[in-house]
Amino acid sequence: MVEPLLDVRDLKKYFPAGRFLLGRVRSWVKAVDEISFTIHRGETLGLVGESGCGKTTTCKLILAAEKATAGAIVFEGRDIVGRNGKDLMDYRRQVQVVFQDPYSSLSPRLRVGDIIGEPITAHEKMSRAAVRSRVGELLELVGLRPDMARLFPHEFSGGQRQRIAIARALSTHARLIVLDEPVSALDVSIRAHIIGLLEDIQQRLDVSYLFVGHDLAAVAHISHRIAVMYLGKIAEVADSMELCHKPLHPYTKALFAASLPSHPDEEREKIVLTGEVPSALNPPSGCHFHPRCPVAMPHCSEKVPEPVEFAPGHTVACHLYSG
């Protein structure tokens, strides 16, 4: 069996929420609560869910921008949780990020050549001429001219800025790129171009993506597999097309029912979720989704559902399928 590029195992991230007078933590916000998933070489894993479900915290943990409370993040066979110094520096070179907002993610004071070249000089010993040459190659790779390296970010459109951000992420020969809603701030007409560019780069460089987003159509289009998160836990993971056509978890069904159809004549099951997303500070007992679930059973409020492999590669954490 081929070893995955990234193997996340039972990952947790709890934040303290208030303390007693003696300093003892009063309660915890369970932003990420024992999640597991894998990403293979050259694969895109989509990560979807409502705001506050833990997607951003998951990204920060993968990027080593936050320290995990528990669990493992195994990259190319090595657990990076708890590592520091050279090991952590090497990991960060191979795992890069493209942020949501192309207008705030690029420094307005630096020329594009410096923005892309800065990570190269930080991680590799190269001459200035070699760095300039590498920057020119990266700009061409993302569909921009090499001479644009002398310009500042404000001289580019939003779509062009996101291309620059992609070039910066690729500058260190990254093996995994975290795409934190990379097209949500762009015009609809530009989104397809950026997604097409990402797919082309993946085919050419065999890079892997963790694609986080709200737009289910965009996530489903680019992803090989999709993981659905709800309140810090993963509810379902499956092949992209299978999840779109045969979602199993009631929450996944509700997400797709609420999304825009691919065709005006497409008929969708109408699912209306009651109530608001509960707080991660005080999540419901048992299955976190049971207060809003239209098919909840009595024991759903008592027991946390374990992930069950319903079909090869299709895992769901729901008592409806636990036998």
Low-confidence residues in the chain, pLDDT < 70: 1, 20-21, 259-272, 323
Nearest-5° Cα angle at 96, 92 to 102: 140
Compute the half-sphere exposure of residue 80: CA atoms within 13 Å on the CB side of its CA.
26
Number of neighbours of residue 173 by Cβ within 10 angstroms: 14
Looking at this protein, which amino acid is placed at residue 45? L
49, 55 contact by CB (below 8 A):
yes
Domains observed in the chain: 6-316 (3.40.50.300)
Please return the burial class of 275, using the count of CB atoms within 10 Å of its CB with bins 0-12, 13-18 and 19+.
exposed
Q: What is the pLDDT of residue 257?
A: 84
Q: What backbone phi and psi angles, to 5 degrees, belong to 169?
A: -65, -30
Report how far apart, in Å, the C-alpha atoms of 28 and of each of 17, 128, 232, 271, 286 are. Answer: 5, 49, 13, 32, 17
Q: Which two tokens stand for residue 212?
A: 């986080």
17, 26 contact by CB (below 8 A):
yes
Compute the half-sphere exposure of residue 235: CA atoms within 13 Å on the CB side of its CA.
27
d(CA 96, CA 62): 10
d(CA 158, CA 251): 33
Classify strands 176-180 and 95-98 as parallel, antiparallel or unpaired. parallel
d(CA 94, CA 41): 13
Q: What is the pLDDT of residue 21?
A: 67
Looking at this protein, which amino acid is placed at residue 293? C
DSSP conformation class of 264: T
